[in-house]
Amino acid sequence: MASTATAINRANSQHSTGPRTEAGKQRSARNALTHGLTARTAVLPSEDPAAFEQHRRQFLEEYRPATPTETQLVHELADTGWRLNRIPLLEADVLSGAQSPAPSPESPAPAVAALATLGLHSQRLSRQFHKTLEHLREIQQERREREERDLRDAAAIVLLHKQKGIPYDPAQDGFVFSKAEIEAFTQRRTRVEHTRGVEQFLYIEQASPLRKPNAPTTN
């Protein structure tokens, strides 16, 4: 019985639908990478590298990373977004192939499987994109808050030295801001505080009871 089963398996293997030519074998070996959604590099050989660089540059201009970590996260966003943008094109290709003039009875099943696979990749990449974006926003917010605190401290020290007539170099206390940056921050904060004072005054004026006009005097 065992020898019969082995013979049957060998006979079935002769009718295998796997690739036989060298080109077919190479194409089959690349099937898992044709969509490029899990490849190490984001850009496929069939895609335009210049378009990808423009895509990445737009992300850099939008998020303006200030540290190597932020830059790395922005690059990850751009790479993930590029792969996500590819999925609708892949889905269109699958649907176009499934609607060929003379589809075989078995053709819909591979198309459905391919669309399902693309859907899974889309969900995975979308989660990855939003997770990276959330992480980027968190560390950028922390950096901005830290810079704001440091600017306030530097501005206060500069003002103190100015009142005493003593020269001061912010670098001696570890501040990375120039005197011009600190002066611009101080002026901006002064304008904001002045604006808030004016708004509060106008609000009080509008909320106060209307004064009655003076009665006309009689002779």
Mean pLDDT of 3-21: 41
Question: Is pLDDT of 53 > 70?
Answer: yes
Question: Would you place residue 142 in the very low, low, confident or very high pLDDT band (cuts 50, 70, 90)?
Answer: very high
The more confident residue out of 95 and 108 is 95
The answer on pLDDT for 38 being more than 60 is yes
For the chain, give the longest Cα–Cα distance: 134
Q: Residue with structure tokens 């604006």?
A: 195
Whole-angstrom distance, CA of residue 178 vs CA of residue 171: 8
Rounded mean pLDDT, 4-10: 38
Q: For residues 17 and 98, which has the higher predicted lDDT (pLDDT)?
A: 98
Confidence (pLDDT) at 12: 38
- In the block, tokens 């501005």 appear at 155
Q: Please indicate whether residue 62 or residue 195 has the higher confidence score (pLDDT).
A: 62
Helix axes 108-164 and 68-98, enclosed angle (nearest 10)? 160
Per-residue pLDDT, 108: 57
| Side-chain-facing half-sphere of 112: CA atoms under 13 Å | 4
pLDDT digits (tens, 9 = 90+) for 112-140: 888 888 999 999 999 999 999 999 999 99
- Tell me the C-alpha to C-alpha distance, in Å, between residue 99 and each of 16, 105, 122, 166, 168: 26, 12, 23, 81, 75
Q: Please provide the average confidence, as pLDDT, over all residues in the chain.
A: 77
Range from 8-22, 103-117, 200-214 that averages highest in pLDDT: 103-117
- Tokens of residue 179, six digits: 């005197």
Tens of pLDDT, residue by residue over 58-84, are 999 999 999 999 999 999 999 999 999
